[in-house]
Amino acid sequence: MKKSCFVFVLIFSFTTTLLFAAELVPIPTDIKVDAQKVQLGEKLFFDKILSKDKTLSCASCHNLQHNGADTTQYTEGIEGKVGLFNVPTVYNAVYNFRQFWDGRAKNLKEQALNPITNPVEMGNTLPVVLYNLKMSSDYPRLFKAIYKDGITEHNLAEVLAEYENTLITPNSPFDQYLRGDMNVLSSKELEGYRLFKTKGCISCHNGVNIGGNLYNKFGIFKDAKSRELGRYNTTHKELDKYVFKVPSLRNIALTAPYMHDGRAETLEDAVNIMSKYQLGRPMEKDELESIVSFLETLTGELPQSVKDMNASH
């Protein structure tokens, strides 16, 4: 990295630390949605009709009963094809400023149809998906009850996104702390929070999602040897090579493996990688343990619909 760029990174990191030090806010306990659209979106989220060979649903790669993601480095799509990125969690994705690791979708609605048409995920085409939905026994009626024009590409994306809007996990111990419960966190967890701020983690992991609201280069202080180019694939700008959306840390204790390529198997590994490549400062063992303890306080409550699902099994 050139010296001018290096200085800019340091200034940016220090400035954003100051700007966002008080910008960690709790997840709202509810979100306004259209109940009819949510119900239809939920049905579609779990329906394998969306995939080319009818073997996968959105829920196949986003395990809502656990972490909203997967537990493998790379998830298999149709015909055993393997994706290029570690699956990000769908939980709290509504609070991300962009969707996907490379930020190619502006919002959940724009994101919703991408996995359906991705050749290594569901491998379908929108004309085929819409035809299958129109030929089904119940979807024409369900869409017509909401939309005058029935089943369309726009309406399909909208109901899927509306359901995903409800997938928030509020009331984590840290949320309770932010709301004023000064006794909910242990001394070790509080020390981890202090280190999270003073070490500079908060420079990129801030806001309601404790991340998910900016891009950053993976490998600031040292080449992280990423095989994926990140934002470059969308912008084709040299400066965007190895630049990715900073992930949310919500429920991070549940979403291993970590990083866009799933290279870190544990939270300890992930923090060490961030310390080495992003902060440029080594982490002592006790500091590492305290930060991990803090990160474990970011696990929130599952949505009521998922709780009901778990109770019925």
3-state SS, 41-106, equals HHHHHCCHHHCCCCCCCHHHHCCCCCCCCCCCCCCECHHHCECCCCCCCCCCHHHCCCECCCCCEC
Considering the candidates 121, 189, 191, 287, report the single residue annotated as catalytic: 121
Map tokens 């109770």 to a residue: 311
* d(C-alpha 167, C-alpha 312), whole Å: 19
Tokens representing 246 are 């900073």
Cβ(58)–Cβ(32) under 8 Å? no
Phi-psi region for residue 86, left (φ > 0), alpha (ψ -120 to 50) or beta?
beta
Q: Residue 27's Cα: distance from chain center in Å?
A: 14
Residue 77's Cβ-count burial label (10 Å; 0-12, 13-18, 19+) is buried
Map tokens 């440029």 to a residue: 280
| Helix (H), strand (E) counts: the chain | 14, 2
Q: Is 191 a catalytic residue?
A: no
Rounded to 5 degrees, φ, ψ at 216 are -155, 155
* d(C-alpha 221, C-alpha 224), whole Å: 9
Query: Which residues are part of the catalytic machinery?
Result: 121
